Structure 1
Amino acid sequence: MKIQFDSEADALYLRLLGGEVTDSESIEPDVVYDYDAKNQVVGVEVLRVRTNLPNLATKALPFKS
């Protein structure tokens, strides 16, 4: 799993599997699932991280930017 945090976009992306993203679905406000051709979830994007996860210590974790 790869974790990326974009501080400018205030978005967190969890890459669960390799492969090409072929579809995306907003499952609830500010949470998007990315799917591959086999309909497997390959990634999860959380938007508005500072609002939705205010206690997440993003500076202390080794995120790639």
Structure 2
Amino acid sequence: MKVKYDKETDILYIRLSDVAIDESDEDKDGIILDYSATGQLVGIEVLNASKTTIEPSKVEYEYA
């Protein structure tokens, strides 16, 4: 999994796998979900991240 925040475009992107993206869908306003050809969720894009999240450049990882 990869997490990237682009301060210039204010986009937070969470890449869940390296599978090719076949289709994207704006599920909610400002949230884009990327899917593979088989329907697997590949990535999540948050537009205007600084307005919808607290500190989009700060990432915490929790493993249970």
TM over 0.5: yes
Q: TM-score, normalised by structure 2?
A: 0.84
**Number of aligned pairs?**
60
Runs of 4 or more, structure 1, over 6 Å off, are none
User: Which residue does the alignment assign to 1:52?
Assistant: 52
Per-residue CA distance 1:2-28 (angstroms, 9 max, x = gap): 001110000000000111100000000
**Identity rate, percent:** 32
Q: TM-score, normalised by structure 1?
A: 0.83
Q: Which runs of 5+ in 1 are unaligned?
A: none
RMSD: 1.6
Deviation at 1:56, TM superposition (A): 2.4
Q: Which runs of 5+ in 2 are unaligned?
A: 60-64
